[in-house]
Amino acid sequence: MKQLALFLVVGLSGFLFEVAPAHTEEPVERIKKFSDFQQIDLNRLLAGDVLSERGSLMEFPNGISVQTCFAMTLSAAETAKRLQSWDPSPHQDLKVYAFHPLPVPCELADFHQLDFKSREYPVRWLLDKTAATTGAKSELNLTREEANALAGCSQKRPNPQKLSECWSKLLLDRASRFQKAGLAGVPPYELTRSTVSPIAQLRTMLLEQLAVASEFQPILKKIGLLGKETKPSITPFYYWTLFDANHHGTISLGAVYALPVETHYQVVDLEYYVSGDYYTSATLYEIWPAQSGEKSGALVWRGDYFAAPVLAYTKGTERIAYGTLMLQDIKKEIRDFQDDLKTK
């Protein structure tokens, strides 16, 4: 039965990415058709409410998802533009220590602000795990070649500045590969129990969410996340960031894609490398112009998809708890994003 189910999923996904559906419904009705939201009060959203829903439990053992819905006072076009390049680091509650755009092509100097001298516990945790890395063992997401390089740095000069320099070289190599080849340039994690491809993890999660995959097929096809393409045909906003994930210092490399579709916009924020704690994530946004009486702005649906090794050891109630904690953090992020744009 599992082999048959997999065949059906692959076959249906191929159909989804060959036939673009025609959409004429109002935004609220559109959201109801592909999302977990069945009751949406546009007036309340335009007044500032944020709807949230834990995603259905996945068969994929590493996967978890949540959904939110909110509104902005800006136009749909401006909201999409701001989402693509928003810097969360000024907000202390989000625990983002550094956030930096990356030019094309990126250079080593673009990572010079990566600093392990912080006294923050999460950053010291990352420093310790880096120093403990050997060519055969690490708690971080690395290839064998990367692990050997970090181990060599630790043996020669195990101090924060030297390890920051070594991490910068590692990140530059990964970012350069991605800028040149897209998803095809993403190396796997080789020091886990079995080799893990972060892109394969994302694809598996999205193929369990066929309604969402169908809705987002215009942008997912162009960035190569689903479908036959591997190199994006649209240019993203590239970035790197250092933040606290579950009290662990975490570095990620990401790309944010935006695409106008008919009268609305689709945005995908893809983390193609994460140093540890989880494997990868993707955040999907669909943004429409919205009008209710005299109130106008943009209506935003957001779906977050995370793949983490710890989830494979959790059961239903534990996954629900993880989903609840995720929603708390995501709602903080949405509120901060809304507040930033109110002042601009």
The larger pLDDT score, comparing residue 233 to residue 284, is at 284
Give CA torsion, residues 91, 258, 28, 209, to 10 deg. -90
Nearest to 254 by CA among 63, 86, 92, 61: 86
Q: Determine the distance from the C-alpha atom of residue 284 to the mean position of all C-alpha atoms in its chain, rounded to a whole number.
A: 8
Residue 158: which pLDDT band, with cuts at 50, 70 and 90? low
Q: Where are the domains of the chain?
A: 2-107+209-342
> What is the C-alpha separation between 42 and 8, in angstroms, rounded?
36
**Whether residue 38 has pLDDT greater than 80:** yes
> What is the C-alpha separation between 199 and 71, in angstroms, rounded?
30
Task: Report the relative pairing of strands 237-245 and 63-72 from DSSP bridges.
Answer: unpaired
The larger pLDDT score, comparing residue 73 to residue 233, is at 73
User: Are 138 and 276 contacting, i.e. CB atoms less than 8 angstroms apart?
Assistant: no
> What is the C-alpha separation between 103 and 172, in angstroms, rounded?
11
Number of other residues whose CB lies within 10 A of the CB of residue 236: 22
The larger pLDDT score, comparing residue 12 to residue 91, is at 91
Which range is least confidently modeled, 2-11, 197-206, 267-276, 305-314?
Answer: 2-11
Token pair, residue 1, equals 């039965």
pTM of the model: 0.91
Residue 157: predicted pLDDT: 59
**Whether residue 5 has pLDDT greater than 70:** no
Query: What number is the average pLDDT over the span 54-81?
Result: 93
Query: What number is the average pLDDT over the span 103-126?
Result: 94
CB contact burial 148-173 (16+ within 10 A = b; e otherwise): ebbbebbeeeeebeebbbbbbebbbb
The larger pLDDT score, comparing residue 247 to residue 14, is at 247
**Whether residue 161 has pLDDT greater than 70:** yes
Residue 203: predicted pLDDT: 94
> Is the peptide bond preceding residue 105 cis, with omega within 30 degrees of 0?
yes
**Whether residue 168 has pLDDT greater than 80:** yes
Sheet containing 51-54, strands listed edge to edge, beginning at the edge strand earlier in sequence: 51-54, 63-72, 295-307, 280-292, 264-274, 248-261, 237-245, 96-102
Percentage of residues in the chain having pLDDT higher than 70: 90
- Specify the CATH class of 2-107+209-342 in words: alpha beta
Which range is least confidently modeled, 139-143, 231-235, 297-301, 307-311?
Answer: 231-235
The larger pLDDT score, comparing residue 233 to residue 109, is at 109
**Whether residue 9 has pLDDT greater than 80:** no
Half-sphere exposure of 215 (CA within 13 A, CB side): 27
Q: What is the gyration radius of the CA atoms in the chain, in angstroms?
A: 20
